[in-house]
Amino acid sequence: MMQCLKENVQSTTNPITQLYQEEINGKRNGEWTDDNRTTIANMPNFYSKKSTLYRARNTKFPKLPKHRRDIVVPELFQQTDSGEQFLLGYHYCP
């Protein structure tokens, strides 16, 4: 179950707490078997696996820059198709 949760965390940008709850609710709302009951009983709480899940997400998604000066625009996106410099923003101060 944790492996499936890690894969979900790495493949979507939904909040990790939401993904964890969906995984638990999926087991609870399914057919109530001894296997599901045992799985839920042995499932670690969110706070004990929080660091592991965020670490798994960070392997797939880069961290957001803290300031816009830290944003790096690849060369591919710095020019238009006609070779002119692409204007990302224009700040007019009279």
The neighbour count for residue 9, using CB atoms within 10 Å, is: 25
Residue 19 lies in a domain: yes
Residue 52 lies in a domain: yes
Residue 7 lies in a domain: yes
- If pLDDT is split at 50, 70 and 90, which confidence band does 53 have? very high
Number of domains making up the chain: 1
- State percent of the chain over pLDDT 70: 90
Residues 6+ apart with CB under 8 A from 20: 5, 46, 49, 53
**Rounded to 5 degrees, what angle do the CA atoms 49, 52, 58 make?**
140
Q: What is the pLDDT of residue 51?
A: 93
Domain residue limits at 11: 2-58
Q: Give per-residue pLDDT as tens, 61-94.
A: 878 889 888 888 888 888 888 888 887 666 667 6
Residue 17 lies in a domain: yes
Residue 79 lies in a domain: no
Residue 44 lies in a domain: yes
Tokens of 54: 């965020």
Residue 78 lies in a domain: no
